[in-house]
Amino acid sequence: MPSDAITSPNSGSSHSTASLQEKKLSTDCCNPLRSHLILLRGSCLALFASLAVLCMAGDGHAADSPNIIVVLVDDMGFSDIGCYGSEIETPHLDRLASEGLRFTQFYNAGRCCPTRASLITGLHPHQVGIGHMTEPPDQSLGFKGPYQGYLNQRCTTIAEVLRSAGYHTLMTGKWHLGIQRKECWPLQRGFDRYYGGLSGAFNYFKPGGDRGMSLGNDRVETDDDFYATDTFTDVACDFISDACKTDDRPFFLYLAYNSPHWPLNAKWEDFQKYKGKYLGGWDVLMKNRLAKQIELGLFPSQTAPAPHEGPVWDSLSPKKREDLDSIMAAYAGCIDSIDQNIGKLCDHLRSLDQFDNTLILFLSDNGACQEGGILGQGSEQMVKNPPLETVAGVRLGQAWANACNTPFRLYKHFVHEGGACTPMIASWPAGMQKANRGGFVRQAAYLPDIMATCIQLAAADYPPQMPPCQGESLLATLTGSEAVIHDDPIYWEHEGNAAMRWGKWKLVREYRKPWELYDIQRDRTELQDLSVPHKQQRERMVKMWETWATANQVAFPERFNMYEFLRKKRDAAKSKPKNK
């Protein structure tokens, strides 16, 4: 059985939102939507989509259903917001948590696009073609592999399901489910309206090239006032306003921030707020965060943190410690900005009298990101004068990422707790009246449960010709039930890193390393490997994982890495002797 049930634990200002149309009147290009013609085209598409939905959903059963907002942030660690132990100021998220529920064992897929694929489809990422990553821009090498790297047609999306049930379907932010094929873009996969970046990473201030912005199916320019976190929220608020003016149907919004993914383009004022606060180093940060987590009731007092993997802080030069402080301050500034925008979004919902009957789910796509080397990269000067139209810039690095996932092991790419366990906040004032609001949900849950929850909330029909949704609805949990969410095991795999949760047991491995076994109920930080004393349990679970992997198109025992495949093929082509 899972470790335990729901237990109890022990504002700030927001920016006003002007409509895109009003912004366009004030200047020639003072919002991301450069052209009146493009804006008109987007509005017409939304109108036609709305008319089509009204025809399809003639029974009107969505009218009494709540609005649903899924907010997904990018590369944020488990302990990076205040209500999960952080020193970073996140009053708006903390308020959502104090009036809602915090999940302590909610799992993602360990990396950006596999998480997005699983969340949006309710399936495992391997089933929908994104078992590794999305396709690289250059397909000239004739790549053919088990994961094509874009969202296939053997799945449906939350947007498609909810639109058929009568919902407005809206999205802003990072897509990352296939950029080369238009049939994989948001409007072709169920969204009425979309604004954001189709690629996996882009500059917060000035995105450019293939990493630029799109409105619907059209590329659009950005102006000097563009800042991704702010703009995605502003456009989302405008989309919501337009939907509410159209009719009384509920809306589904998928707000996918690229923050705090590299490059860590913090605003200068947000950076300055945290500059100098991290000169004590990662050991001090981890100690303080764990103490706060214990005080909040997230973990018991005897919790032992996973050891830190970086160098001893005092062994580093003063200049290096100064730069590392700047890197972490930039990261904190990016998260602070997310919280400011959550406040803006909630205030906008309240102004429309939509907040109480809106389910908001807030989560991260994976743990903090170690990409960028042990010590990351960047300095105060790089924050102040960031490279534009590129993804070069500040990166967090492994040592800080390890600390940001306190008290867990590892980080992004991996499916140990530090890589695959996300903070998740659920807020729904009108629907959670019987829940233990302000408390914790300690049962294991994972990404496909979001699709199942949306289906139940909307009384929607899931297409019978598609592979069945792999999740369980969280509705009972959100409304006060203490029942187990998953009686059956849940599974993961990414780049050969694999895991399985079955009640209190967790089977997990790093690629090509032996399987490990943990009693998560007693050892949440995965420090006491029980694979030898519980050998039979380990072997039984390994067989179950292999059966699951075979049934769900997982490439194993050798992992399949598309980028490694293409790199080897490119190197082989270069090494061939040229014909004279």
Order of strands across the sheet with 505-509?
490-494, 497-502, 505-509, 516-519
pLDDT of residue 568: 84
Q: Domain containing 409: what range?
A: 20-487
Instruction: Give the tokens for residue 125.
Output: 């990422």
* Residues 534 and 517: beta-carbon distance below 8 Å: yes
Whether 337 maps to a domain, the answer reads yes
Strand 193-197 relative to strand 439-441, pairing: unpaired
* Residues 293 and 524: beta-carbon distance below 8 Å: no
Q: Which of 92, 168, 176, 348 is catalytic?
A: 176
Whether 1 maps to a domain, the answer reads no
Residue spans of alpha helices (H) in 318-460: 318-351, 380-384, 398-404, 417-420, 448-458
Query: Of 228, 263, 258, 253, whose CA–CA distance to 113 is shortest?
Result: 258
Q: Which of 112, 184, 237, 469 is catalytic?
A: 112
Residue 110 CB partners (closer than 8 Å, separation 6+): 366, 367, 412, 413, 414, 415, 419, 420, 492, 494, 497
Residue 468 CB partners (closer than 8 Å, separation 6+): 462
Q: How far is CA 270 from CA 82, 327, 333, 490, in A?
A: 16, 13, 5, 39
Whether 513 maps to a domain, the answer reads no
Instruction: Give the tokens for residue 90.
Output: 């996140």
421 is a catalytic site residue:
no
* Residues 456 and 478: beta-carbon distance below 8 Å: no
pLDDT of residue 139: 56
pTM of structure: 0.89
* Residues 478 and 428: beta-carbon distance below 8 Å: yes
* Residues 68 and 454: beta-carbon distance below 8 Å: yes
SS3 195: strand
Angstrom distance (rounded) from CA 406 to CA 302: 14
Angstrom distance (rounded) from CA 513 to CA 420: 18
Length of the chain: 580
| Partners of 490 in beta bridges | 501
Angstrom distance (rounded) from CA 242 to CA 50: 11
Whether 529 maps to a domain, the answer reads no
* Residues 80 and 277: beta-carbon distance below 8 Å: no
SS3 491: strand
- Specify the CATH number for the domain of residue 457: 3.40.720.10
pLDDT tens, the chain, 580 aa long: 333 333 333 333 333 333 333 333 232 333 434 333 333 334 444 444 444 444 444 344 566 899 999 999 999 999 999 999 999 999 999 999 999 999 999 999 999 999 999 999 999 999 999 999 998 765 555 666 788 899 999 999 999 999 999 999 999 999 999 998 999 999 999 999 999 999 999 999 999 988 999 999 999 999 999 999 999 999 999 999 999 999 999 999 999 999 999 999 999 999 999 999 999 999 999 999 999 999 999 999 999 999 998 999 999 999 999 999 999 999 999 999 999 999 999 999 999 999 999 999 999 999 999 999 999 999 999 999 999 999 999 999 999 999 999 999 999 999 999 999 999 999 999 999 888 899 999 999 999 999 999 999 999 999 999 999 999 999 999 999 999 999 999 999 999 999 999 999 999 999 999 999 999 999 999 999 999 999 999 999 999 999 999 999 999 999 888 888 878 888 888 887 766 4
Whether 74 maps to a domain, the answer reads yes
Whether 577 maps to a domain, the answer reads no
Whether 26 maps to a domain, the answer reads yes
Angstrom distance (rounded) from CA 33 to CA 39: 7
* Residues 266 and 330: beta-carbon distance below 8 Å: yes
Integer-rounded Cα Rg, in Å, for the chain is 23
112 is a catalytic site residue:
yes
Whether 473 maps to a domain, the answer reads yes
Element (H, E) at 217: none
Angstrom distance (rounded) from CA 72 to CA 239: 18
pLDDT of residue 452: 98
φ/ψ (deg, to 5) at 440:
-120, 145
Indicate the burial class of 76 (C-beta count within 10 angstroms; 0-12, 13-18, 19 or more).
Answer: buried
Angstrom distance (rounded) from CA 154 to CA 127: 8
The count of structural domains within the chain is 1
